[in-house]
Structure 1
Amino acid sequence: MEVVNYLLGYKNLKIVQNTDMFNFSLDSVLLPNFVTLNKNTAKILDIGCGNAPIPLILSTKTSAKIIGVEIQKDVYELALKTVKMNDLEKQIEIINDDINNIYTYFETESFDTVVCNPPYFKVATTPNLNTIEYKTIARHEIKLNLEQIINIAKKVLKNNGNIAMVHRPERLSDIITIMRKNNIEPKRIRFVYPKETKEANILLIEGVKNGRPGLKILPPLYSHCENGEYSKQIKKYFEN
């Protein structure tokens, strides 16, 4: 069943979701609040945009054109409805296709920024795959893997363009290795912890195409207080 919700604490943003599918998560709020944008950011690509939570939040931070690519037809249609409901058709464009076909829509080196909340799990490490197809595709590297994502970013980004991803800490060494293989230099990392007493469960990482070496580890971010409420920093994201 389709429902319309406010995008967590963003009171002016609504998102169309389907209760039979998974809903967007905190990851989709963390990434657009982490990525580096500036006055020269003119075009952004969101790889695997889902029902468009990341483009929605990015629209509050930049006037850049935002392109979201979503391979799953049902999810793509939710994204279209979300964009239309928020009157953002002029800024956000959603494409229903395999991201590997991006070059049929745009030339190489035509984006300033790439963002991605990708499938986290390698197929080989998850023998008990979810039997629901859209969840499997979203969570597991079946249609798209880490190396493909970063290679696509290398090709579509302008020189010194940036890619920001939200992922799992255990994939950090893979991400750095593949980034450098594709001439993308890791520049910023932030670990996100569910609580101060817990291990990190989310990784935010940003790299720059043909960037100079120099990696910054940002202060830790705690998503929740011990009582289970969102932390002050997370609440600030909503206020902003």
Structure 2
Amino acid sequence: MLMLTVPGVYRPQTDTRLLCEALRTASVAPGAALLDVCTGSGAVAIAGALLGARSATAVDLSRRAALTARANARLRRVNVRVLRGDLFGPVAGERFDVITANPPYVPCDRPPGAHSRARAWDAGRDGRDGIDRICAGAAELLAPGGTLLMVHSAVCGVAETLGTLRERNLKAAVVARRTIPFGPVMRSRAADLKAWGLLAPGQEHEEVVVIRADRAEKRG
């Protein structure tokens, strides 16, 4: 699915496509309420709307990303509510049947500037700044029987993500994975990542995974 992007907005890549495939496999029920955080171009939220979600909400901290997501939704002629803000902040108190997330997950040794395009991928020394916050907050926003789908690199610790989600009483598992060559950002960080013990010597590929976490149905 081709998306309009502008400088400073994350362009849909392999991780976006893998997340969209997992969303299709998850079979969004007609009438479902969907939330996509770290939406970037809006590609995943739009995919959810096209799959039949009754309502689709897209959230991003970047002003450019929010404007881009709105433009792409109009071009696709789908109704997506686009909100600018930090992760779950703009939708506090709401409930969703499906939450999707493609958070920043590239390890870095310093935070990006407030207006840096690197905000789309830089995520702290272990790459988990956004991942951990999503794991901590998603359960409260999921409706009974709801599903979280989140994509990130295996460099960031798949077992840690699964464990954190299970601690919040969510049933979690890896549902998709793909091995891809390093892109420009990972290539530029490879030496540091090896020094930090996050990459093996000579490693030039990373595994990207989609993790699914389900909230149990409410019992009467």
Same fold (TM over 0.5): yes
Change (3 A) 1:140 1:50: same
Distance across 2 between alignment mates of 1:112 and 1:99:
17
Q: Secondary structure at the match of 2:21?
A: coil
Q: Secondary structure at the match of 1:17?
A: coil
Q: Secondary structure at the match of 1:75?
A: helix
**2:40 is matched by which residue type in structure 1?**
G
Correspondence for 1:44: 34
Distance across 1 between alignment mates of 2:154 and 2:205:
10
Correspondence for 1:139: 121
Shift of 1:57: 2.1
Correspondence for 2:74: 84
Correspondence for 2:48: 58
Query: Residues 70 and 80 of structure 2 are in contact (CA less than 8 Å); yes or no, is this contact kept in structure 1?
Result: no
Correspondence for 2:178: 192
Alignment of 1:52-131 (within 5 A): 52-88=42-78, 91-104=79-92, 107-108=93-94, 110-122=95-107, 126-127=108-109
Query: Residues 191 and 203 of structure 1 are in contact (CA less than 8 Å); yes or no, is this contact kept in structure 2?
Result: yes
Change (3 A) 1:83 1:119: same
**1:55 is matched by which residue type in structure 2?**
A
Match of 1:182 among 143, 158, 168: 168
Q: Which structure is richer in relative contact order (CA contacts within 8 A, separation 6 or more)?
A: 2
Q: TM-score, normalised by structure 1?
A: 0.69
Q: Secondary structure at the match of 1:165?
A: strand
Distance across 1 between alignment mates of 2:114 and 2:28:
39
Query: Residues 191 and 202 of structure 1 are in contact (CA less than 8 Å); yes or no, is this contact kept in structure 2?
Result: yes
Give the total of aligned pairs.
189
User: Per-residue CA shift, 1:181-208, capped at 9, x if unaligned?
Assistant: 221111443221238xx86521111011
Query: Residues 67 and 94 of structure 1 are in contact (CA less than 8 Å); yes or no, is this contact kept in structure 2?
Result: yes
Match of 1:207 among 203, 206, 213: 213
Change (3 A) 1:134 1:140: same
Change (3 A) 1:60 1:185: same
Q: Secondary structure at the match of 1:34?
A: helix
**2:58 is matched by which residue type in structure 1?**
G
Shift of 1:83: 1.2
What percentage of aligned pairs have identical amino acids? 15
Query: Residues 30 and 53 of structure 2 are in contact (CA less than 8 Å); yes or no, is this contact kept in structure 1?
Result: no
Shift of 1:82: 1.2
Distance across 2 between alignment mates of 1:131 and 1:101:
20
Query: Residues 28 and 53 of structure 2 are in contact (CA less than 8 Å); yes or no, is this contact kept in structure 1?
Result: no
Distance across 2 between alignment mates of 1:165 and 1:20:
22
Shift of 1:20: 5.6
Query: Residues 48 and 69 of structure 1 are in contact (CA less than 8 Å); yes or no, is this contact kept in structure 2?
Result: yes
Which structure is higher in helix share? 2
Change (3 A) 1:39 1:133: same
Kindly report the root-mean-square deviation, in angstroms, between the aligned alpha carbons of the 2 structures. 2.7
Q: TM-score, normalised by structure 2?
A: 0.74
Query: Residues 34 and 48 of structure 2 are in contact (CA less than 8 Å); yes or no, is this contact kept in structure 1?
Result: no
Correspondence for 1:220: none
Unaligned runs of 5+ residues in structure 1 are 1-6, 9-14, 212-240
